[in-house]
Structures are given as structure tokens and as C-alpha cells.
Amino acid sequence: RSHNSKPKVLSQKDIPGLAKYIKSNDCKNIVLMIGAGVSTSAGIPDFRSPETGLYSNLARLNLPHPEAVFEIGFFRRNPVPFYTLAHELYPGKFRPTPTHSFIRLLSEKSLLHTCFTQNIDTLERRAGVPGDKIIEAHGSFATQRCIDCKRSFDDAKMKEHILAKKIARCERCNGYVKPDIVFFGEQLPDNFLSSISNMLEADLLIIMGTSLTVQPFASLADMVKDTCPRVLINIDRVGNLGSMPDDVVLLGKCDEIVRDLCKELGWEEDLDRLWSET
């Protein structure tokens, strides 16, 4: 299918066409799918960007392959690389980006239906997006438990351990403690599974800052109704975005594109106000 095919729902496949649709009565529920690219301008490296991504910088951790840092079998043998990474990514060190404030803005305009995030940095919450709109598909640092007996571990103690780069161990069985971040091969959280059907309620899907390579998350992009335009805001083209008549592909840095969209919507001052509050 052609990228150039005529849109069916949108008037134009660009920022003005998108802004017009967002302001129309047809667009009541916006669903977002986001990934590490929305947080890179906060100083948090993503996985796959060449040179700056974590995967190209994990060599010093002596991993058999970069993904091993998120494999439960490897963690069981050697939790040090994960704890090193956790220390670097630990929430609290970073300020939300303008793109995170844009998500909050959608919520203030009563347009945000659900924000599906793959990120574990909790910057959506820090930007003030209501918790009941966020699905942390790959878990977060909010809770943690023993990988053997599953006993939960105290939040404050966990924070001390991660900040001191010390491996936390279960107080009952001495097993290693791991934040409730989804590792490869682990099931996604219940609230992700029960929210998949939210995709059907979307009048607009915005995908930002993700390589769309991690399943099952990536497959959400194909679950919207035929009449739901999909927008990709990313440095590079990913997934099959561009293949449907109402797909809009906006390539570049998300903070800049989101600002251009807000300008077109007349929301730039709102965006700046929200961001200055974070």
C-alpha cells in the first residue's frame, strides 16, 4: 500500500490536517503509545539509538549480549548489570520533557483516553498525567519483590540499595530482589492485558519515541478501528506506519514536532505553562 494514498478521515496528512481533526467533534478519545524516545531529551538514553543508546553502551557491563540485562535467567546468575542500569535510570533524577507535558495537556483538554508506555522512568506521572490514564506496560520501579519466593520488599530500602548500587536480597529467603519491571519472557501486567480493548475506543492513535520492536506492545498499533488515524512522531520510520490511508508520519524530534502541533492548535502557551510547572 502506498504512503501517498488519499486520506479517508483526515483532510490532510500533515500537522494542519491533524490539528483540524483534533479540534473536530470526531476526535474525542486519543490513545498514545510511547517509548524511550520521549525521554531521551531528559537525558535518559534509549535502547536502540546508535552510539547513544544503552545497548551500544552496555559493553562495559560484560554481558553475553545486550538484552541479557533484562533476562531473568541472566539476572539470577548475575544481577550486577541490571542494578548498574537501574542506578542510571532510577526515577527522581530526571525532569519530564515537553513531550510528557503534551500528554498532560491532552488530559487537561479531556482528550486523553489512555497512555500506553513502555518506559520505566515514571516521567508521565511526574509530568502530572493522571495515574488512571497511564498503563505502564513494562512495569515500573514503584514496587519490587524477591525473584524466588516473590515476597515484596520495602520501597525505601530498595531505593537505598539502588542508589548505593547494592544488590537487595529477600529478608525471608535471601533471593535477589528485582523491581517489578517486565523482563523478556515475563508476562505483562494485568492492567495492560485488561486495557488492550481500549485501542478500539481510540479516535486517534499517537505513537511517539518507540522503535515498535518489542512485542506484544508493538502489536497494539494494529488494533485500532479502520476509521482511527494513526500518527507516528519519531526520528525514524518504524513498524508499518504509513501503510494505512490515514497514517501520518512526522519524522524528527518529538519535543519539536509536538510544539509545532501545539502551535497549530493554539496550545503553545498551555504547553509552556505545564512544562514550567514540572
- 209 counts as binding ligand CNA under rule CB under 6 A: yes
Among 58, 115, 210, 231, binds ligand CNA (CB under 6 A): 210
Classify residue 244 by its DSSP letter.
S
* 119 annotated to a ligand binding site: yes
- 153 counts as binding ligand CNA under rule CB under 6 A: no
Strands 134-136 and 112-117: parallel
- 191 counts as binding ligand CNA under rule CB under 6 A: no
**Whole-number Å distance between alpha carbons of 20 and 115:** 22
Half-sphere exposure of 187 (CA within 13 A, CB side): 5
**C-beta of residue 28 within 8 angstroms of C-beta of residue 203:** yes
Which of 38, 29, 35 is closest to 224 using CA atoms?
29
Q: Using the rule CB under 6 A, give the single segment among 105-113, 149-157, 191-199, 203-211 that binds ligand CNA.
A: 203-211
Q: What kind and span of H or E run contains 206?
A: strand 204-208
* 213 annotated to a ligand binding site: no
* 181 annotated to a ligand binding site: no
CB of 98 to ligand CNA, least distance (A): 11
**Whole-number Å distance between alpha carbons of 162 and 90:** 8
- 93 counts as binding ligand CNA under rule CB under 6 A: no
Tell which positions 121-150 bind ligand CNA, by CB under 6 A.
Answer: 121, 138
* 173 annotated to a ligand binding site: yes
- 235 counts as binding ligand CNA under rule CB under 6 A: yes
CB of 245 to ligand CNA, least distance (A): 23
Q: What kind and span of H or E run contains 255?
A: helix 254-265
Tell which positions 39-78 bind ligand CNA, by CB under 6 A.
Answer: 39-41, 44, 46-49, 53-54
**Whole-number Å distance between alpha carbons of 171 and 230:** 48
**C-beta of residue 141 within 8 angstroms of C-beta of residue 148:** no
Residue 107 or 210: the one with the smaller Cβ distance to ligand CNA is 210
**Which residues are identified as catalytic?**
138
Count of positions (residues) in the chain: 278
Q: Using the rule CB under 6 A, give the single segment among 57-65, 75-83, 105-113, 207-215 that binds ligand CNA.
A: 207-215
**C-beta of residue 132 within 8 angstroms of C-beta of residue 141:** no
Binding site for ligand CNA (CB under 6 A): 35-37, 39-41, 44, 46-49, 53-54, 118-121, 138, 209-211, 213-214, 234-236, 238, 253-254
Numbered residues of the known binding site for Zn(2+): 146, 149, 170, 173
